[in-house]
Every structure is written in C-alpha cells, then in structure tokens.
Amino acid sequence: MTPRTSDVGRVLATFAVSAMAAGVVCSPLVAERAVESVSFADHLGVVPVEVSVTHNGTSTLDTGVFGRLYWDRTGAGGFGALLRITGPPQADGDSLAAYASPGFLKTSTAFIDDPSAVARAYGEELRSRALITFWRLELVVALVGGVLLTLVLRGRPPFPGASWRRRAGICLVVGAAATASSVVTAVWLFHQWDGNAPVEDALPLPGVPGVSLSSSQSLEIAAQVRPFVEKNTRRIRERSDAYAAAVSTSLAAELADPVLTLDPRPGEQIVLAEADTQGSFVGQRVREAIYAVLRERLGDDAIAVRTISGDVTSNGTVAEASYVHAEAGTLPGTPLIVVKGDHDTATTLAQLDDEGIVNPHLDPVEVDGLRVVAGNDPTFKTLFGGTVVNDSGTTQAEIGAAVRMVVDPDLDGEVPAMVVLLHQPGSVDGYLGVDALDLVDDVDTTTSTTPREDGVPDVPPGIVNIGHLHDSSSPVVLWNTDTDDVTWTVVNQLGTAGGVEENPTFNRFSTPFSTPLKDLSVQLQYVDVATGLQTGYVELTAGPSGTVTVSGRTDLGLPLVGR
C-alpha cells in the first residue's frame, strides 16, 4: 500500500467515525427539532388546514376568529394533533356565504361521525413525516459534523500521543458529556416549545365529555347548536340503516327471479367494474353486503378482480385514509385495481398502496389470466368543483395516448386482450385515436353482436372502463375488422358506485355518511379468459329509494369457442 493510499484510507476512516459520532451526539436535538417542526397541509372536506403536533394533553382545532376546540385525546407519548384552519372553504367561492355551503357542512360531518378516524389518519401521517424529517436532519448533521471533525483532526486519530486505551477512554467521556449536553438542551427546548404549553382557557362543553372550547361565545353557540347536530346525526344514521336494509330486501327479491342468470359461462370470469365511489361510506357498506350475496351465489372464484375507474375518494386528503381502508375490505380476497381520478391525489395513491390496492399506471399487471393497465388522471378537482389543477401539463388525450403506447407493443403475439382503466371520457379520445368521444357515441349500439364497419380505426381488443360522469350508459362495441381475425373492444361508461351527486346545490349534496342521491351502480363484465374479450355484461343498480335492479345478461361480441 502506497503512502498516499494509506493517507486516503485514514481520512475516510476518520470521517466515517466522526460522522457516526456527530449523528449519535446530536440525535436528541435532532429528534426534538423533528417533532417540533413537523407539519403538513391538508383539506378536511373543503376546509384547508395545517396539521402539526402538540404535547399539551389535547388535540386541537384552531378556527381562528371563533377560537379553539380542544379534544382530550392524544396518541403515543401524549402527543396530539393541532389542526389550524388556514382559509375559507375552497369550493363554493371566497365569500362568507361559503361557511353555510355543502362543503363546510360536509367537513363538520367528518368530525361528527367519527373523529377518531380523522385522528388516526393524521397521527399516522405526522409520525411518518417526523421520522422522515429526523433521518434527513441526522444525515445533514452526520455529513457536516464528519467533515468538520475530519478537518479539525486533519485525518488523524484524536490525542495522538496517548495509548489506544487512554484515547478510547477520553473519547468515551467526551462523547458522553456531549450527548448529555445535547439531551439537556433538547429537553429545555422541548419545554420552551409552544406546543408544550398547557391549555388554560378550556371551557368544557356541557354534555360532551372530553370536549372544551376557548371562547365563551363559541361555547354558547355550540351548546345551542349541539342538540340540532345530534338530532341530524342520528337521523342520518337511521336513514343510512334503513337504506341498507331496503337494498338487502330488494336484492333478495330480485335475485329470486328464476329467469335471472348471473353465472359465468365455461371459460369466463367476471370483472366487477365500478367508478366514482368518492368516499361514500354508505355506498361502500351497501356494496359490501351486495358482493357478499353475489359471492355466495356465484362461488368464490367467479369474480376474478374488482376495478374502480377513478375517484376512489372525494378530495384526496390524509383524513380519507379510513375510507380507503374500508374500500379495501369491500370484497375480501379479491384483488382490487384502480386508476387515479380527478378527486384523488398522490396522498390517495399512497393510501391505496398501503392497503395493497394496485394502481398499474402505464404498467400492466396480470390477475388470474386477465391483464389490466391504467392511465392516471393528470388533473385534480376540489370537492365541489371550484378549482381544477393540472400541474403536470399533460392533457386527458395525452394520457390516453400514453396508455395506447403501452398496450400496442404489449399485445404483439398470442397475448390476451387488455382491461384498460381510464377516468375521464377525454382520455379515451387519445386511447382510441379519435378527435372526440362523440364519434364513438355515434356508433350503433344495437349491433353489439354483429361485426360492422363502424368508422373507427382498429384499436387494441379488450375493455375500456371509464367513469367521471356519474351516469352509466350502454356499452359501445367497436369492431376490429381490418384483418381476417375479427376482434372487438368494449367501451363501458360506468356510473357512480357511491351514489354520489356530481352537481351539488345548496340543498342537494352528498356526504360520506348520507344515503345515495343517485343510482348506485356496478357492472358485472363477463370476460373470456383465453382471449381477454368481453362477452357480456349485467348492470346492477340500487336507487336512492333502496330499490335494486339487476338487468339480464346482455351478450357482446361474437360467440367464442368453448362458451
């Protein structure tokens, strides 16, 4: 080993040890800084909030002009969440009238129905962000400390004249003293932190254990409003229970029809297709009951996969983690594949991933012989449509064309056709290579089993499922007749599987806990596993009154060998 190589090795070793020592010594200070500084922006319904950490024995909602609401609930280590409203509801305008809007009422409903679910979601997010902040700061401290100590020591071990035992002892004493100093400083900073200050202005809300307010005026208003809120909350739950019972009774009567045939034919499996669930707990609860009945009737293996064509959530917030968790359990044991809609966000995608729900954005996956691919919606629309944001610069048509580029080469050779999940009709334009979906709408839907020239250039065979409109329509069969091997592509415009109103008004709007305002609809799509082609469908709807309608099977495409 040359002297130069030896010097470099000594410097690197000194840096590594110094960086490790700096990280260990400063870790108490880094932890304190990470906890104190962690925060993130979110929307609770349509109300923008900043979420951070407190350690005063409560979780707090800071409304600003109306004071603070304290809730005597904390998580591990006594840490609670501080939600500070940072602006007016961002959905129905910027005036004070927005505080009486559907969006604001929906936000209140989230607290009324299950505040613990919101607290759990925020607690997990804060914990995750605090850990990320801690390790980032530790990395910075280790790098900076390692460089500085290496420069001071000039790449040589400390105390060069001492024996290694004495040197180790001195380093241990110095390190312990520095670490103790770091701990004392961190504790002092923690006690000086505003989030650690005790609550001194809490006025208990009569009849609601663990809840208090900081303003006597707000307390008086809350005391007067509470009976009204409790009455309406109870009424919402009673109506939801009645709706679920009505659906169950009507479904049983509908399925008792001896003429109704739902079983897949030999060689077929079912894709259970949904769209626009949009955070409706009532819709999720009803579909869970419906699917349990269908599974009992059809058998465990008949339904190969569930798909949701966008808008799983209503606003893509951290607080909706509890809904994503519920949706994941709607049909246990059956894979769920989704595409991002314009009410979903990167937060939604992370929540889906945490629950094992697949989002195959431009990356096909295979489930029980069926191939599925998705093209995530590049836009985000606020809860009541007040703002549409597209930071990506990608248009709907471009995302459809991107999916087409993935599908075309993937279908070379003897490969089953693809189930394509898109959200908005505009993205179908790009996928099909047409200027407007109106061209597809003009195709004669009465020829769903007879090949014809439809004026649309051949497209990849398979299924295209879309949502967004909250109203279902009859599937459109596009015939691929440019070769001797005739295939077909079925474009399915799905309705809302949450029964959610997409055009809310002041006195008509959906909440996560209210009964559906529109038909709750799902589609059973029968697929020939060998070819991936859709061979039929059944539409199942549950109306706002709870009346269930199950259509008879409608065949699509040509008869296939083995059916």
Task: List, for residues 246-271, the tens digit of each pLDDT value.
Answer: 999 999 999 998 888 899 999 999 99
Tell me 447's DSSP state: G
- Which residues, in sequence order, are bridge partners of residue 51? 40, 83
SS3 9: helix
pLDDT at 142: 86
DSSP H helices, 256-305, are: 281-298
251-278 burial code (b ≥16 CB/10 A, e <16): beeebeeeeeebebeeebbbbbbbbbbb
Q: Is the pLDDT of residue 105 over 50?
A: no
Q: Which two tokens stand for residue 226?
A: 């509470």
Specify the pairing of strand 68-71 against strand 59-62. antiparallel
Q: Are 542 and 499 in contact (CB under 8 A)?
A: yes
Give the closest residue to 547 by CA, choosing from 167, 251, 215. Answer: 251
Q: Is the pLDDT of residue 227 over 90?
A: no
pTM of structure:
0.79
Q: Are 374 and 305 in contact (CB under 8 A)?
A: no
pLDDT at 415: 57
> Rounded mean pLDDT of 43-71?
79
Q: Are 424 and 408 in contact (CB under 8 A)?
A: no
Cα–Cα distance for residue pair 461/531, rounded to 1 Å: 9
Q: Is the pLDDT of residue 467 over 90?
A: yes
pLDDT at 164: 59
Domain boundaries, the chain: 5-196, 232-251+263-555
Share of the chain above pLDDT 70, in %: 83
Specify the pairing of strand 462-466 against strand 487-493. parallel
Highest mean pLDDT among 90-94, 106-110, 166-170, 451-455: 451-455
232-251+263-555 placed in CATH 3.40.50.1010: no
Highest mean pLDDT among 32-41, 108-117, 254-263, 536-545: 536-545
What is the four-CA torsion angle of 87, 92, 96, 99, rounded to 10 degrees? -80
pLDDT at 104: 37
pLDDT at 543: 96
pLDDT at 176: 84
Q: Is the pLDDT of residue 371 over 70?
A: yes
Q: Is the pLDDT of residue 550 over 60?
A: yes
Q: Is the pLDDT of residue 111 over 50?
A: no
Confidence of residue 284 (pLDDT cuts 50, 70, 90): very high
Q: Which two tokens stand for residue 136?
A: 């980032």
DSSP H helices, 411-532, are: 425-432, 438-441
